[in-house]
């Protein structure tokens, strides 16, 4: 199997584990920095490794459109192309087709859409999405699914699940168990418990190396999202990694890990960094604020990231106001380090049976960062 | 003396030497990457050190306007503010006041101008320019001079020299010999030999730790620039470093070193990098070109810079077209490495008495890069 998952320790429903892949071990719970266009924005591979990143996410939709699958394939796959030595998980392109591109047509066969870059017409199907991810040499490919927007009616989502299940079967056939590339199944169902259960059962029935909740954090109220997170985790096969897609508010992550989810991805730390919004042990900080003009202290006195070890708030404020590239670099290093530290400490807490203490220690910090 | 200069070897008029400063040794001939706003654009200090940079240039005009001299002073000076451990040379702000700001008034006292950032009104004088550079903790401060545009009449430049000489005297008084900060005098004179000689003599008469030719590469024809370069170098005091300001076409640098100039600065390698124009041992290369779409080779097969060791033209083309920050980072590392290698090899050639061989080996390469 391309991904071997072992739960090392549980603490309540929270799990600490390892995902073994041909390209390296991933400790769970784990956060995956998002490398949309073949680069985690502003970061080099060395910097990602230095702050403890173990796996990154690549976006199939973006890479398929530019530079094109054929290019990356010819250059030896995504890892070699971008010079990232660790594992890569690729999404299927489904989410972007439904959110970023101009959608033209959905049939059983697949989806026709126009590129957000140049308007050109493209067709994506389960088979095509798997073929692309295999050409990228992805370590973990995600199933191609339909992603209904929020709000969608119960009936619409119920119908949509038939497509998602059929497409999941075709994805599995395209990359059968035992292939070099692992495949994770995605279940949908919106904010409806019944549909979530039904979808999960159908996807598990097909059988994948891991399972992922899709279609959350798409605009639904937080309490509904939380309900679905806590409801679904215990139903998912315990011997497989559980991936909560696209969720990066660390309060939600905390709840999800407490419920039994293992892996996460989100653009929030990197995007916020570029906008000058920084996470700290004392709450969120907007680096452009006038009060930092002469502030010689680091972003976060409790942080040991390369940015906090060397640079003052005053300098980072200056770089941000002067729109310097180094601003985005240093801010991104800091925010990703914050996420990495949160996940590392969470994992250690679970290993020591101290998740509850971890939670009560971090929750007030997270409230100050994500309110 | 804040800067001790020793010529180690001459080869014809070309010189190899060392400039010793409190913050480190600078081997000459040397190129200074330009760190306009307190950062060499897209680069970290570590990266600059790793490619062999020994000294960087900071722009007084920009730093005075943003973040403000008082801020950098309060934070312990420019080196500490930007976390660069090596020597820093700062220009005086004169050139930017005359080229970038909206000039309002020039008197004997100084210059009134409006900020290019927000239009605010400012006054800069020799005393003020020295005060700022001292507050920045500059290792080498440049005199505040008048920089006439090209073309300017003989009479205009002749009159302007009186101001430049008077201002140079006031700069020297503001930071006398023996101060922590060294001061380099700038001579002007446009493209007129007589005026160049006159200006140089007046500036040398005052006495500085180094001398610089200002007011070249401001639009004059190349042959006139070359004439002034070859004419002035032999007249400059041999025991002091000779700085040719703002010139970065390496063909001009070659001629200048051959004539006896020692140090250089230019935004060309960094600016071109951000625009996707790369220097190579086989000539200039525009990374966006379609022919590189599947090109697995490095920018320059003969280059051992961090970019060429790890990344393909295909990937760099993709990053450039996708407007990724990493594109500017990797391109800048490459172009600056090209410059650093050129200067390193030039220095070694002079040390071995092989400058002529160096010149005939590099000239065709430079022709392909700077035509």
3-state secondary structure A149-211: CCCCCHHHHHHHHHHHHHHHHHHHHHCCCCCCCEEEEEECCCCCHHHHHHHHHHHHHHCCCEE
CA distances to A7, A37, A212, B61, B84 from A237, rounded to whole Å, are 12, 32, 11, 63, 53
**Residues B201/B202/B207/B209 CA torsion (nearest 10 deg):** -70
The CATH architecture that domain B4-266 belongs to is Alpha-Beta Barrel (3.20)
Label residue B113 exposed, middle or buried (CB < 10 Å: 0-12, 13-18, 19+).
Answer: buried
Check if B265 is active-site.
yes
- Cβ(A19)–Cβ(A5) under 8 Å? yes
Check if A223 is active-site.
no
Q: Which pLDDT tens digit goes with each residue over A178-192?
A: 999 999 999 999 999
pLDDT band at A115 (very low <50, low <70, confident <90, very high): very high
Q: Which pLDDT tens digit goes with each residue over B280-314?
A: 999 999 999 999 999 999 999 999 999 999 999 99
Rg of chain B, C-alpha, whole Å = 20
CA distances to A73, A75, B169 from A366, rounded to whole Å, are 41, 42, 59
Reply yes or no: is the peptide bond before residue A67 cis, omega within 30 of 0.
yes
Mean pLDDT of B5-33: 98
- Say how far apart CA B35 and CA B59 lie, in whole Å: 7
Structure token pair of residue B59: 């722009």
User: Do residue B321 and residue A67 have CB atoms under 8 angstroms apart?
Assistant: yes
Q: Which of A114, A113, A110, A190 is nearest to A149 (CA)?
A: A190
- Say how far apart CA A104 and CA A99 lie, in whole Å: 12
pLDDT band at B371 (very low <50, low <70, confident <90, very high): confident
Mean pLDDT of A108-116: 96
- Say how far apart CA A43 and CA A224 lie, in whole Å: 35
Residues 6+ apart with CB under 8 A from B221: none
Q: Which pLDDT tens digit goes with each residue over B171-196?
A: 999 999 999 999 999 999 999 999 99
**Tell me, what's the pLDDT at B344?**
98
In this prediction the pTM is 0.97
Structure token pair of residue B267: 């935004």
**Strands B140-142 vs B88-90: parallel, antiparallel or unpaired:** parallel
Structure token pair of residue B312: 């393909």
Among B315, B322, B325, the residue with its CB nearest the CB of A325 is B325
Structure token pair of residue A328: 């985005």
**Tell me, what's the pLDDT at B103?**
87
pLDDT band at A103 (very low <50, low <70, confident <90, very high): confident
Q: Which pLDDT tens digit goes with each residue over B111-160?
A: 999 999 999 999 999 999 999 999 999 999 999 999 999 999 999 999 99
pLDDT higher than 80, residue B1: no
B50 neighbourhood in chain A, CB within 8 Å: none
* Best to test chain A binding among B46, B49, B58, B75 (most A CBs inside 10 Å): B75
Strand partners, A11: A14
Looking at chain A, the whole-number percentage of residues with pLDDT higher than 70 is 100
- Say how far apart CA A278 and CA A286 lie, in whole Å: 6
pLDDT higher than 90, residue A101: no
- Say how far apart CA B112 and CA B105 lie, in whole Å: 5
Q: Domain locations in chain A?
A: 4-266, 276-371
- Say how far apart CA A43 and CA A82 lie, in whole Å: 12
- Say how far apart CA A196 and CA A189 lie, in whole Å: 4
Q: Which pLDDT tens digit goes with each residue over A11-66?
A: 999 999 999 999 999 999 999 999 999 999 999 999 999 999 999 999 999 999 99
B 47-66 residues with CB below 8 A of A? 66
pLDDT band at B62 (very low <50, low <70, confident <90, very high): very high
A328 neighbourhood in chain B, CB within 8 Å: 325
Structure token pair of residue A70: 């054929």
What is the ipTM score, two decimals?
A: 0.97
* Catalytic residue (choose from A91, A139, A262, A300): A91
pLDDT higher than 80, residue A360: yes
Q: Which of A184, A186, A185, A180 is nearest to A136 (CA)?
A: A180
pLDDT higher than 90, residue A285: yes
pLDDT higher than 80, residue B319: yes
* Catalytic residue (choose from B139, B145, B252, B265): B265
């Amino acid at each position: 199997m391309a991904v071997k998952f072992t739960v090392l320790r549980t603490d309540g429903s929270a799990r600490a584990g390892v995902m073994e892949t041909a390209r390296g071990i991933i400790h769970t719970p784990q956060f995956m920095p998002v490398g949309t266009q073949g680069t985690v924005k502003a970061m080099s591979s060395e910097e990602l490794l230095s702050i403890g990143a173990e796996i990154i996410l690549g976006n199939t939709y973006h890479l398929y459109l530019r530079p094109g699958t054929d290019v990356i394939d010819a250059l030896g796959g995504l890892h070699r192309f971008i010079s990232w030595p660790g594992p890569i998980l690729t999404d299927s392109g489904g989410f972007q087709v439904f959110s970023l591109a101009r959608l033209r047509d959905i049939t059983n066969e697949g989806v026709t859409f126009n590129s957000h870059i140049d308007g050109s017409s493209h067709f994506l199907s389960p088979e095509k999405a798997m073929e692309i991810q295999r050409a990228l040499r992805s370590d973990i490919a995600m199933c191609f699914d339909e992603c209904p927007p929020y709000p969608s009616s119960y009936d619409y989502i119920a119908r949509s699940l038939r497509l998602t299940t059929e497409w999941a079967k075709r994805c599995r056939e395209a990359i059968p168990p035992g292939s070099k590339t692992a495949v994770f199944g995605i279940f949908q169902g919106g904010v409806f418990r019944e549909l979530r259960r039904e979808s999960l059962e159908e996807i598990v029935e097909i059988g994948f190396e891991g399972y992922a909740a899709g279609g959350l954090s798409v605009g639904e109220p937080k309490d509904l999202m939380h309900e679905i997170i806590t409801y679904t985790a215990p139903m998912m096969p315990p011997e497989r990694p559980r991936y909560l897609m696209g969720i990066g508010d660390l309060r939600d992550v905390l709840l999800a890990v407490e419920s039994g989810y293992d892996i996460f991805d989100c653009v929030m730390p990197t995007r916020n960094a570029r906008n000058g919004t920084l996470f700290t042990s004392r709450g969120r900080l907007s680096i452009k604020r006038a009060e930092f003009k002469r502030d010689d202290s680091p972003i976060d006195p409790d942080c040991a990231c390369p940015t906090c070890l060397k640079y003052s708030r005053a300098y980072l404020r200056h770089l941000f106001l002067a729109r310097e590239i180094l601003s985005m670099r240093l801010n991104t290093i800091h925010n990703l380090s914050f996420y990495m530290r949160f996940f590392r400490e969470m994992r250690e807490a679970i290993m020591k049976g101290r998740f509850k203490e971890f939670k009560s220690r971090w929750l007030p910090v997270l409230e100050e960062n994500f309110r």
